[in-house]
Amino acid sequence: MAKEYYDCRKILAEDSTYNVVIGQRSNGKTYGFIEEALGEYCENGYPSVYIRRYDESITSANIFKLCAPHIDSLIVMSEGRWNNFEYKNRTFFPTRIGKNGKLEERGEPFLYCVGLNSWEHKKGQDRGFVKYIIFDEFLTRDTYLNDEYPKFMNLLSSFIRDRVGTTIVMLGNTVNKFCPYFAKFKINIKEIKQGFIYNFRYGETTLSLEYCKPSSNTSKVNKKY
């Protein structure tokens, strides 16, 4: 039986500024949105941003698996121009690797990777328009950063600036449904049911939230332990 992965097109069809998706680990949330960002890049040339809470999550040793599953899609979407990714200076670039294994061509940045804990100390130049800003694992069973919500808002402002059209994505697992973001967005997560999309409005800002149903391809916990 083919595996079923999360389809992000349904929540994106709501056309909200913020898109919050919570669900079981390994149900394909991250995969779906990176694939969507890749399609936007190959079609329109727009890069995206990938955020984790801590820098160690975006080191070369930990991060390359983020884009590796999308190499086949990259080849198809780019019509064969690109056939691999390179991760350099916390940025993923599409590349063309020749039959001899050497780099023949490197494209413009596809995905900027950011550690929220150090962003304020590493602000750089304006990178231009970005299509998606994806905050992965925004829910945690550990502690949140001091003043995490303002830091996240400042990061968004640094990338978006005065441009419009960027879509913000926040992905979390169901290990902990209580976090400062729900309080700031005035969402009572206890009232959110699985399998539905809820829409919220804050003046001109809109937010869609989906609590995913359990996926058939997520592993079950060993009840003995």
Hunting for tokens 């198809």 — which residue is that? 76
How far, in Å, CA of 44 to CA of 24, rounded?
32
Mean pLDDT in residue range 35-49: 98
For residues 12-26, average pLDDT = 92
Whether residue 59 has pLDDT greater than 80: yes
Q: Global pTM?
A: 0.92
- The larger pLDDT score, comparing residue 127 to residue 106, is at 106
Separation between Cα atoms, residue 59 and residue 56, nearest integer Å: 5
By three-state DSSP, how is residue 21 classified?
strand
pLDDT at residue 204 is higher than 90 = yes
**Could you give the CA distance from residue 134 to residue 110 in angstroms, rounded to a whole number?**
13
Strand segments (E) across the chain: 18-23, 48-52, 84-88, 91-97, 103-106, 111-115, 132-136, 167-173, 197-202, 205-211
Nearest by Cα to 84 from 99, 66, 100, 67: 67
pLDDT recorded at residue 47: 98
Asked if residues 212 and 6 have their Cβ atoms less than 8 Å apart, the reply is: yes
pLDDT band at 179 (very low <50, low <70, confident <90, very high): confident
* Residue 75 token pair: 């080849």
| Mean pLDDT value of segment 196-203 | 96
Q: For residue 72, which amino acid is it?
A: D
Sign of CA dihedral 142, 146, 152, 155: negative
Q: Sort strands 103-106 and 91-97 into parallel, antiparallel or unpaired.
A: antiparallel
